[in-house]
Amino acid sequence: MPIVTIQQFPRPLEQKRELARRITEAFVEVYGAKEEAVQVFFSEIDGEGWAKGGVMGCDKTDK
């Protein structure tokens, strides 16, 4: 622990790389967690697998 699971749209690897680094750094500095204890899982989903306000992401025009 801690285990971090992120539900998000697909993102380029370099963005995920930097985000994972920053999230891990936050746990180390705020919680005093051991760096190696922090795991981050990216659960990527597209507009055909997600809906908000009753409308599928792929049907939204206001993205």
Phi, psi torsion values for 44, nearest 5 degrees: -90, 140
Rounded (10°) CA dihedral 61, 46, 49, 47: 10
The reply to whether 62 sits near a copy of itself by the rule CB under 8 A is: no
Is 60 near a copy of itself (CB under 8 A)?
no
Site for a copy of itself contains 5 (CB under 8 A): yes
Query: Under the criterion CB under 8 A, does residue 25 sit at the interface with a copy of itself?
Result: yes
User: Which residues here bind a copy of itself, judged by CB under 8 A?
Assistant: 1-9, 11, 13, 15-27, 29-31, 35-36, 38-45, 48-56, 58-59
